[in-house]
Amino acid sequence: MRFTAILLLSVCPLAGELRDVVKSAGIDKIFARTSKSADVLAKTNYAVQFRVISGADARAAGQEAGEFWFVRRGSANISLSGRRHEVNAGDVVSVPRGTEYLIHPTSGRFEFVAVRVFPATRRMGVGIGAAPEPHPMPDVATKAAIDATLATAAKNVTLHSAGAVLINHVIYNAAHGPWEVHQTCDDLYFVRLGTARAKLDGTLIGGKEEPLGEIRGTGVTGARDFTIAPGDMVVVPRNTAHFMDPGRARLGYLLVKICD
């Protein structure tokens, strides 16, 4: 564990806490130096692991967490409680807690980001797309379907809304997003389309709670500036101001929102 922590800090300055923007090149470096699994973020409500499978790997996901796998590289035949799927780079896999799974890579190393979610329920219906009735995603959302939605949809489209997790296709079409803070939700972005200027942290100007649990403002002071691009990850802990501006271009990413 100590070796892993040193490794992460050496290849990605923010990986000790995995906060802010983790560039695609930094993610690739972590995977290149990982033989099996690297724990890159551990919170009380969720965790993130970078996993590498180079041979058949059969085990149960366990009762303590549901998982979402964002496939980074390679392809594999996957069995989820007996349901078989061929999975490739860019796909997203849902593994509900307690699901028995088998992974068999078909092209060398199979690399994916595993988001592990510990709470099973959400007390507040916070987040665009959150619905009173569960809307779980299928076992696998393919890269082709995700890319098509991000390229053509006129507004955000929900991929998954169940338990404590909301996953949205988020689309900015030649317009910036709100200046905002989430009080009860942690966000992860997986950038898939376009580039944007991102501002993180600092203090909102003129903040108001609207809707419930969401603070919206008219600007931000003291934020850190980043440029985000496809392959990057953005980590926004709760109570952190953030803002995205793609200018006149189109920005698309998968938002994983873990809420109380």
Per-residue pLDDT tens over the stretch 5-48: 333 333 443 344 577 999 999 999 999 999 889 999 999 999 99
Q: What angle do CA 192, 197, 203 make, to 5 degrees?
A: 120
Q: Where do you find CATH 2.60.120.10 in the chain?
A: 2-117, 140-259
More confident residue, 258 or 5: 258
**Domain formed by 2-117, architecture:** Sandwich (2.60)
The pLDDT of residue 4:
34
- Candidate from 127-131, 153-157, 162-166, 240-244 with smallest mean pLDDT: 127-131
The pLDDT of residue 61:
60
CA dist., res. 112 & res. 71, Å (int): 4
CB 158 within 8 A of CB 242: no
**β-bridge partners, 203:** 221
- Candidate from 14-28, 96-110, 181-195, 234-248 with smallest mean pLDDT: 14-28
Share of the chain above pLDDT 70, in %: 88
In the predicted structure, residue 220 carries a pLDDT above the cut 80:
yes
Tell me the CATH number for domain 140-259.
2.60.120.10
In the predicted structure, residue 57 carries a pLDDT above the cut 90:
no
In the predicted structure, residue 213 carries a pLDDT above the cut 90:
no
CA dist., res. 156 & res. 158, Å (int): 7
CA dist., res. 75 & res. 201, Å (int): 37
**Average confidence score pLDDT of the chain:** 88
In the predicted structure, residue 2 carries a pLDDT above the cut 50:
no
The reported pTM is: 0.90
For the chain, the straight-line distance linking the first and the last C-alpha, in angstroms and rounded, comes to: 29
**DSSP characters over 48-61:** EEEEEESS-EEEE-
- CB atoms inside a 10 Å sphere around CB 132: 6
Instruction: Label residue 49 by pLDDT band (50, 70, 90).
Output: very high
CA dist., res. 115 & res. 107, Å (int): 23
Positive/negative CA dihedral, 243, 249, 113, 31:
negative
- CB atoms inside a 10 Å sphere around CB 24: 15
Q: Residues 87-98: what's their mean pLDDT?
A: 96
The pLDDT of residue 45:
93
CA dist., res. 9 & res. 202, Å (int): 24
